[in-house]
Amino acid sequence: MNEQPMPGPIRRTLAAARSHRPELSVIVPAFNEGENVDALIGKLVPVLEGCVSSFEILFVDDGSSDDTLERIERFAALDSRIRALRFSRNFGKEIALAAGLDHAQGEAVALIDADLQHPPEILKTFVARWREGYEMVYGQRVDRSTDGPLRRWLTERFYRLFQRFGETPLPEGAGDFRLMDRKVVLALRKLGERARFSKGLYAWVGFRSIGVPFEVQERLHGTSKWGLHKLTRFAFDGLSSFSTLPLKLATYFGVAISIFAMTYAATMALRTIIWGSDVPGFPTLVVSVMFFSGIQLVFLGIIGEYIGRIFAEVKRRPLYIVAEEIGGEPLDDDEPEAPHPARTTARARQST
Ligand code: UDP
Ligand code: MG
């Protein structure tokens, strides 16, 4: 902008008015959350009405098989500020968030879970911080007592590992509950990765960030959709996309074992020269053959995981497929920055 500098809040509200953009978009990924939709909208709308001039609530229905979509449609028919994208199938929360970011129109965009574990009132603080000039305001969970002990332990291990070996430091306790300025959203749209570890991506794009502590609530209805298996995959996605340590481990092991083998060979040679040779050593042979084949298979597996991810990236499939867009009104001006080519939806492709 080439006008006189003016205070952040006024500038943003003016920008929102000029472009007919809502001041805030709230993205809600929802997978079989039918029971929570009414309560969420009931809490969210008054909070938003109290803290921003205009807003939209954008649900991303991630292939739900219950009545999530019908319930959202009912609200969307009455209120144009509520809209939804329906995925053609379940693509996972991370991808649902990416789709939300691609379609959100607000000057700021907030992400919130549908199960009311993220208290909507905190959005007021998020907005206040954003108006102070922070471009990324993230919720920091103060305790994880709503997770089971195993999940808590594994999560802690994972963060330790990531802190040590990841390329990008992750802020403590920061999750998906956050608010971002449009600038950050445009930056995130340019990242076209398939294996999405959004916590890492948020940290990677940078920007002026601040944490806001909050207490995670119990889920209102239903159970967590993240099984141990999904979480493990997610953890490996995180590590493999932000660190090459697993690949380097192979080199370290290889070097260590080679040094050991050479020392052993030298000792053996000396022994043979001094005391002559004898046949025993069969168990040593078997054990070492098995040990080395094991190590080799493990590292082949790790390399395979990376190749699998590279393969997924080079296939260049769209990240998600929007089957239907529900509610809302199109903006006057078209989105200035197009999403990454790999992230255009199947529908967008057809129309170009
Ligand atoms: N979710 C989703 N797709 C999935 C799994 C979850 O959109 O495949 C949504 C879910 O509806 C909720 C949010 O992601 O709004 C967080 O999911 P959940 O509560 O199951 O995870 P947790 O709170 O245990 O991390
Ligand atoms: Mg939850």
Asked whether the predicted pLDDT for residue 109 surpasses 90, the reply is yes
Output the pLDDT for position 125.
Answer: 92
Rounded mean pLDDT, 329-339? 54
Output the pLDDT for position 351.
Answer: 41
The answer to whether the beta carbons of residues 166 and 200 sit under 8 Å apart is yes
Rounded mean pLDDT, 240-254? 76
Output the pLDDT for position 348.
Answer: 42
| Residue of 71, 115, 178, 220 with the most ligand 1 atoms within 8 Å of its CB, for mutation | 115
Asked whether the predicted pLDDT for residue 349 surpasses 60, the reply is no
Asked whether the predicted pLDDT for residue 344 surpasses 70, the reply is no
Residue the block writes with tokens 């209120």? 79
| Residue of 31, 36, 64 with the most ligand 1 atoms within 8 Å of its CB, for mutation | 31
Minimum-distance ligand 1 atom for the alpha carbon of 28: 15
Q: What dihedral angle (degrees, nearest 10) is formed by the CA atoms of 304, 305, 311, 317?
A: 160
- Residue 117 beta carbon below 6 angstroms from any ligand 1 atom: yes
Output the pLDDT for position 56.
Answer: 93
pLDDT bucket at 331, cuts 50 / 70 / 90 = low
Output the pLDDT for position 48.
Answer: 92
Task: Count Cβ atoms within 10 A of the Cβ of residue 250 and give its class: 0-12 exposed, 13-18 middle, 19 or more buried.
Answer: middle
Output the pLDDT for position 127.
Answer: 93
pLDDT bucket at 142, cuts 50 / 70 / 90 = confident
The answer to whether the beta carbons of residues 8 and 131 sit under 8 Å apart is yes
* Helix, coil or strand: residue 335: coil
| Percent residues over pLDDT 70 in the chain | 84
Task: Count Cβ atoms within 10 A of the Cβ of residue 79 and give its class: 0-12 exposed, 13-18 middle, 19 or more buried.
Answer: middle
Output the pLDDT for position 3.
Answer: 45
Q: Which residues make beta-bridge pairs with 111?
A: 27, 178
CA–CA separation, 229 and 202 (whole Å) = 24
Output the pLDDT for position 10.
Answer: 60
Output the pLDDT for position 338.
Answer: 52
CA–CA separation, 288 and 295 (whole Å) = 11
DSSP 3: S
pTM, two decimals, is: 0.68
Asked whether the predicted pLDDT for residue 335 surpasses 60, the reply is no
The per-residue pLDDT for range 6-42, each reduced to its tens digit, is 566 666 655 555 567 889 999 999 999 888 899 999 9
Asked whether the predicted pLDDT for residue 221 surpasses 70, the reply is yes
Q: How crowded is residue 15: how many other Cβ atoms within 10 Å of its Cβ?
A: 14
Output the pLDDT for position 41.
Answer: 92
Give the amino acid at 306. Y
In angstroms, the Cα distances linking 15 to 105, 130, 161 are 12, 15, 42
Rounded mean pLDDT, 210-238? 78
Radius of gyration of the chain (CA): 26
Output the pLDDT for position 86.
Answer: 92
Output the pLDDT for position 182.
Answer: 92
Output the pLDDT for position 85.
Answer: 92
State the ligand closest to the CA atom of 87. 1
- Residue 73 beta carbon below 6 angstroms from any ligand 1 atom: no
| Percent residues over pLDDT 90 in the chain | 21
CA–CA separation, 106 and 21 (whole Å) = 5
CA–CA separation, 26 and 36 (whole Å) = 16
State the ligand closest to the CA atom of 113. 1
Q: What dihedral angle (degrees, nearest 10) is formed by the CA atoms of 323, 324, 330, 334?
A: 0
Asked whether the predicted pLDDT for residue 239 surpasses 80, the reply is no
Give the amino acid at 134. Y
Q: How far is the CA of 243 from the centre of ligand 2 (A)?
A: 27
The DSSP result for 80-93, as a single string, is TTEEEEEESS---H
Encoded tokens for 219 = 């889920």
Output the pLDDT for position 18.
Answer: 57
CA–CA separation, 350 and 352 (whole Å) = 6
Rounded mean pLDDT, 287-291? 78
- Residue 233 beta carbon below 6 angstroms from any ligand 1 atom: no
The answer to whether the beta carbons of residues 115 and 221 sit under 8 Å apart is yes
Asked whether the predicted pLDDT for residue 345 surpasses 70, the reply is no
The answer to whether the beta carbons of residues 49 and 82 sit under 8 Å apart is no
Minimum-distance ligand 1 atom for the alpha carbon of 147: 24
The answer to whether the beta carbons of residues 200 and 241 sit under 8 Å apart is yes
Output the pLDDT for position 318.
Answer: 82
Asked whether the predicted pLDDT for residue 295 surpasses 70, the reply is yes
Which residue's CA is minimally distant from atom 2 of ligand 1?
93
CA–CA separation, 223 and 204 (whole Å) = 31
Q: How far is the CA of 115 from the centre of ligand 1 (A)?
A: 8
Minimum-distance ligand 1 atom for the alpha carbon of 175: 25
CA–CA separation, 248 and 299 (whole Å) = 10
Output the pLDDT for position 347.
Answer: 45
Q: How far is the CA of 145 from the centre of ligand 1 (A)?
A: 17
Output the pLDDT for position 2.
Answer: 45
- Residue 146 beta carbon below 6 angstroms from any ligand 1 atom: no
Give Cβ neighbours of residue 302 (< 8 Å, ≥ 6 apart): 246, 247, 249, 250
Rounded mean pLDDT, 91-96? 89
Rounded mean pLDDT, 319-344? 65
Sign of CA dihedral 296, 153, 205, 317: positive
Give the amino acid at 213. P
CA–CA separation, 141 and 316 (whole Å) = 35
Average pLDDT, the chain: 80
Q: How far is the CA of 323 from the centre of ligand 2 (A)?
A: 25
